[in-house]
């Protein structure tokens, strides 16, 4: 556009884009990182707090276990990152977990992963927006006082943006993500410096509070169970890690290597921020409780239901930078923004996955082709509707929503990694090159450990979270699974029914002649055009047909027909009940009865108008007639359009609509690139 907006673009994207068209933008690593990592990076805004919340059930003394839980999350994170680095190399086509599971474990596993991911996208929106609102609320109190309303409003805003087809651009993601990462690192560094070098005591706003343990003196198995629950909550930090494996085609070359490097970078940033925040929270004595109203006490008195528990990241920021200081507000804003971008990720991922599922005929086929605004819109509305429902039911409370969140992620992690093990096994059977075999065996080991570890976490999550809400997520997965299976079965049945036989059958006997009928109501331009076109087609018999619903008009039509000397016979059907559809359908049927081997071609002059309300005023009879004729065997129906002046505008509108950008275009990468890459798909 202008030079002003061009400058940051040049800095960030490196060069002016040669064209706005999709497919000429490949992402360098520094742009790919924010595009794909806003989801996992943003989860450090809530994951550390969730760990503390669960531990608080056993009282403040349980906080001592938080470093161990953080360590477990770090190990898990590196395991997952290492595993996905293998995926990225083995499946550079961007199919992601669905493709891996589908190819190696069969369609049922694939469909399970797909269902899990779809549920996951819904929850990404619900959790990220809720958490974003909570973070924003620590700086702007109005937001936290109208939490559900604010969350729904932001979901609506994102939905509208995506429905309008706002292009997902690297710039949009880059600035807030880097500001967020920079702020968090500054906070950790400054906090560490204050704590270690200055020996300054940092006090979180909640440092004065005590926690009333919900369950006194937990020990043995109960304590282990609580620690596992805390670990499960911490695993929320891993959501979205798989995004890069879907986006390999969008990377600059060498695609797989760049994607793998970005993945590692993202893992490093995420764990550093996660551990840093936990550490600062311990150092500044943050106090969080599951039910703050009852369990948080000040001088022995519960804080009461009006108390608003700020997220751990903003409490830490208050301790390090001072409440409502510049950095505090900046961090709150950046955190909220990154969380909203993470939600937007789902708006891009949902239709992307939809298009892959549509290709495998689990979803309506039109989702597969690009630029089908209507189809994408339906997906977006479904996503937004489900997310809003969750936000409303769970009061936009990120802590409650997280209970549902992690199941889907670990279902797909586990199945994907198991699939990778199979993948290597298959390749090892044929590979003879020793160096390659060694690499494969190493990869297999990584994936096997990944599968084992993520599977274990899945079991832990299911056991510790099932009654807390994970069953809702499972129910959602079952609904998606059943629906998609039904759609696939339908397509398979139809495909079988319409398969072309090798031997000619009754059905494929070719009609010998064609009898064309032009429908006429008056002699006007559309009619004349239809008659001219009908003559061009040189059918075996051609006649014009008019329905007599008004004797005066019919008489006028006959007179005009003769006056103009139109050399096509005009047949008039009497319609005593002023019906139009029935006499025509019956006439066509009678023609077919007389000569069953003839085809009948019905030619309908049609007006093309510009506005929907004009459409209501025209063509309604034609539309209904076409609908009925389609059920009549041996008939083809031809529309000869006549463009009214007002249609020009509508034509332009339609072309503009066609230039609409489907969400997910940037992260999907250009198709041409994609199809050139060798694909692991069978």
User: Within positions 502 to 531, which residues make up the interface with its own copies, using CB under 8 A?
Assistant: 507-508, 510-511, 513-514, 523-529
Nearest to its own copies of 157, 617 (CB atom): 617
Nearer to its own copies, 215 or 620 (CB): 620
The set of residues, in sequence order, having a beta carbon less than 8 Å from that of 201 and lying 6+ positions away, is none
Contact pick of 533, 561, 587, 660 for its own copies (by CB under 8 A): 533
Find the binder of its own copies among 108, 365, 426, 438 (CB under 8 A).
365
Is 32 within 8 Å of 262 (Cβ atoms)? yes
Minimum CB distance to its own copies, residue 97 (Å)? 21
Residue whose CB is less far from its own copies, 130 or 601: 601
Subset of 17-36 contacting its own copies (CB under 8 A): 22-23
Q: Does 667 bind its own copies (CB under 8 A)?
A: no
- Three-class secondary structure assignment of 251-290: ECCCHHHHHHHHHHHHHHHHHHHHHHHHHHHHHCCCCCCC
DSSP, collapsed to helix, strand or coil, labels residue 131 as helix
With contact defined as beta carbons under 8 Å apart, do 262 and 298 qualify? no
Q: Which of 56, 381, 472, 380 is nearest to 230 (CA)?
A: 56
Q: How far is the CB of 94 from its own copies (least distance, A)?
A: 14
Parallel/antiparallel/unpaired status of strands 598-608 and 296-298 = unpaired
Q: Please report how close the Cβ of residue 615 comes to its own copies at its closest, in angstroms.
A: 10
Query: Between residues 456 and 617, which has the closer beta carbon with respect to its own copies?
Result: 617
Nearer to its own copies, 197 or 500 (CB): 500
H/E run at residue 514: strand 513-519
Q: Which of 65, 561 has the CB closer to its own copies?
A: 561
Cα 235 from Cα 651, distance rounded (Å): 51
Subset of 60-79 contacting its own copies (CB under 8 A): none
Integer Cα distance of 245 and 107 in angstroms? 19
Measure the CA–CA gap between 255 and 257, rounded to whole angstroms.
6
C-beta of 22 vs 342, nearer to its own copies: 22
Residue 168 Cβ, how far from its own copies at the closest point, in Å? Answer: 16
- Considering only 582, 587, 595, 680, the residue that binds its own copies (CB under 8 A) is 582
Nearest residue (CB) to its own copies, 384 versus 584: 584
Question: Are the C-beta atoms of residues 629 and 635 closer than 8 Å to each other?
Answer: yes
**CB nearer to its own copies: pick between 428 and 649:** 649
Task: Name the residue nearer to its own copies (CB basis): 203 or 628.
Answer: 628
How far apart are CB 579 and its own copies at their closest, in Å?
5
Nearer to its own copies, 141 or 611 (CB): 611
Please name the helix (run of DSSP H) or strand (run of DSSP E) that holds residue 598, with its range, or none: strand 598-608
| Using rule CB under 8 A, residue 670 touches its own copies | yes
The secondary structure element, H or E, covering residue 474 is helix 470-498
Q: Smallest distance, Å, CB 533 to its own copies?
A: 5
Candidate list 188, 241, 380, 580; residue touching its own copies; CB under 8 A: 580
Q: Which is nearer to its own copies, 346 or 635 (CB)?
A: 635
Total residues contacting its own copies (rule CB under 8 A)? Answer: 95
- Please tell me whether residue 589 binds its own copies under the rule CB under 8 A: no
Nearest distance, CB of residue 371 and its own copies, angstroms: 5
Give me the sign of the Cα torsion angle 174, 177, 183, 186: negative
- Cα separations in angstroms, 631 against 501, 601, 607, 619: 22, 14, 23, 19
**Residues in region 464-493 near its own copies by CB under 8 A:** 487, 490-491
* Rounded (10°) angle between helices 3-13 and 29-42: 90
Figure out which of the listed residues 306, 497, 503, 506 binds its own copies, where binding follows CB under 8 A: 497
130 or 665: whose CB is closer to its own copies?
665
**C-beta neighbour count of 593 within 10 angstroms:** 8
Residues from 369 through 408 that contact its own copies (CB under 8 A): 369-372, 374-375
Pairing of strands 296-298, 210-211: antiparallel
CA 486 remoteness from chain centre: 21
Rounded to a whole number of angstroms, the minimum distance from the CB of residue 99 to its own copies is: 15
Helices (H), 43-106: 47-55, 66-90, 96-105
Each residue 596-615 as x (binds its own copies by CB under 8 A) or -, in order, gives ---x-x-x--xxxx----x-
- Tell me whether residue 186 or residue 643 sits nearer to its own copies (CB atom): 643
- Residue environment code for 21-60, b if the CB has 16+ CB neighbours within 10 A, otherwise e: ebeebbbeeebbbbbbbbbbbbbbbbbbbbbbbbbbbbbb
Q: Least distance to its own copies from the beta carbon of 138, Å?
A: 43
Q: Which of residues 615-644 bind its own copies (CB under 8 A)?
A: 616-618, 620-621, 624, 626-631, 633, 635-644
Residue 102 CB, nearest distance to its own copies (Å)? 16
DSSP state of 198: I
Minimum distance from CB of 13 to its own copies (Å)?
A: 21
By the rule CB under 8 A, 164 interacts with its own copies: no
The reply on whether position 274 binds its own copies by CB under 8 A is: no
Phi-psi region of 397 (alpha: psi -120 to 50; beta: other; left: phi over 0): beta
Residues 300-359 that bind its own copies (CB under 8 A): 359
- The answer to the question of residue 578 lying near its own copies (CB under 8 A) is yes
What number of residues does the chain have?
Answer: 682
Taking the least distance from each CB to its own copies, the nearer of 10 and 624 is 624
Q: Rounded CA gap, 107 and 104, in Å?
A: 9
Least distance (Å) from its own copies to the CB of residue 660? 11
Least distance CB 538 / its own copies (angstroms)? 5
Residue 616, both tokens: 């209501």
Q: Which of the residues 555 through 574 are near its own copies (CB under 8 A)? A: 564
d(C-alpha 28, C-alpha 6), whole Å:
18
């Amino acid at each position: 556009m202008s030079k002003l907006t061009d400058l940051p673009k040049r800095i960030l994207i490196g060069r002016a884009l040669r064209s706005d068209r999709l497919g000429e933008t490949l992402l360098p690593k520094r742009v790919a990182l924010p595009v794909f990592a806003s989801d996992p990076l943003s989860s450090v805004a809530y994951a550390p707090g969730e760990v503390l919340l669960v531990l608080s059930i056993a009282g403040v003394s349980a906080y001592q276990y938080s470093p161990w839980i953080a360590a477990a999350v770090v190990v898990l994170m590196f395991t997952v990152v290492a595993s996905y680095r293998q995926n990225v190399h083995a499946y550079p086509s961007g199919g992601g977990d669905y493709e891996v599971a589908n190819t190696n474990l069969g369609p049922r596993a694939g469909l399970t992963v797909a269902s899990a991911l779809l549920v996951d996208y819904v929850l990404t929106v619900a959790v990220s927006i809720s958490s974003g609102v909570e973070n924003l609320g620590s700086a702007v109190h109005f937001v936290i006082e109208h939490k559900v309303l604010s969350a729904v409003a932001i979901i609506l805003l994102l939905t509208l943006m995506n429905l309008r087809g706002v292009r997902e651009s690297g710039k949009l993601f880059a600035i807030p993500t880097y500001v967020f990462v920079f702020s968090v690192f500054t906070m950790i560094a400054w906090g560490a410096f204050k704590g270690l070098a200055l020996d300054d005591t940092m006090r979180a706003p909640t440092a004065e509070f005590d926690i009333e343990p919900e369950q006194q003196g937990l020990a043995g198995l109960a304590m282990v169970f609580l620690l596992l629950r805390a670990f499960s909550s911490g695993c929320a930090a891993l959501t979205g890690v798989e995004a890069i494996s879907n986006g390999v085609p969008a990377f600059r070359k060498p695609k797989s290597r760049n994607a793998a490097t970005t993945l590692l970078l993202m893992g490093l940033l995420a764990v550093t921020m996660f551990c840093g925040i936990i550490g600062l929270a311990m150092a500044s004595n943050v106090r969080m409780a599951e039910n703050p109203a009852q369990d948080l006490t000040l001088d022995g008195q519960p804080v009461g239901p009006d108390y608003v528990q700020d997220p751990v990241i903003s409490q830490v920021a208050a301790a390090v930078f001072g409440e409502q200081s510049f950095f505090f507000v900046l961090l709150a804003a950046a955190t909220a923004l990154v969380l909203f971008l993470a939600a937007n990720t789902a708006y891009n991922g949902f239709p992307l996955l939809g298009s892959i599922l549509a290709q495998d005929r689990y979803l309506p086929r039109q989702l597969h082709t690009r630029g089908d605004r209507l189809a994408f819109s339906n997906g977006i509305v479904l996503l937004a509707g489900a997310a809003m429902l969750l936000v409303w039911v769970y009061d936009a409370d990120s802590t409650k929503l997280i209970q549902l969140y992690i199941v889907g992620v670990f279902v797909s992690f586990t199945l994907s990694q198991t699939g990778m093990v199979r993948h290597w096994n298959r390749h090892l059977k044929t590979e003879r090159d020793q160096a390659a075999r060694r690499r494969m065996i190493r990869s297999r080991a990584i994936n096997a450990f990944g599968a084992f570890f993520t599977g274990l976490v899945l079991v832990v999550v299911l056991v510790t979270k099932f009654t807390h809400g994970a069953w809702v997520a499972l129910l959602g997965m079952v609904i998606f699974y059943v629906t998609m299976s039904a759609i696939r079965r339908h397509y398979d049945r139809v495909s079988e029914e319409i398969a072309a036989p090798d031997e000619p059958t009754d059905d494929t006997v070719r009609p010998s002649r064609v009898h064309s009928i032009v429908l006429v109501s008056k002699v006007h331009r559309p009619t004349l055009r239809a008659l001219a076109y009908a003559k061009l087609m040189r059918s075996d018999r051609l006649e014009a047909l008019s329905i007599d619903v008004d004797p005066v008009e019919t008489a006028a039509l006959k007179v005009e027909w003769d006056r103009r000397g139109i050399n096509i016979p005009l047949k008039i059907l009497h319609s005593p009940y002023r019906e139009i559809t029935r006499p025509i359908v019956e006439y066509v049927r009678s023609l077919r009865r007389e000569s069953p081997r003839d085809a009948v071609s019905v030619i309908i002059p049609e007006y093309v108008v510009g506005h929907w309300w004009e459409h209501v005023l025209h063509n309604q009879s034609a539309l209904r007639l076409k609908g009925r004729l389609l059920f009549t065997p041996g008939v083809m129906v031809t529309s000869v359009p006549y463009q009214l002046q007002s249609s020009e505008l509508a034509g332009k509108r339609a072309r503009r609509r066609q230039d609409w950008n489907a969400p997910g275009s940037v992260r999907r990468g250009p198709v041409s690139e994609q199809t050139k890459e060798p694909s692991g798909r069978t």
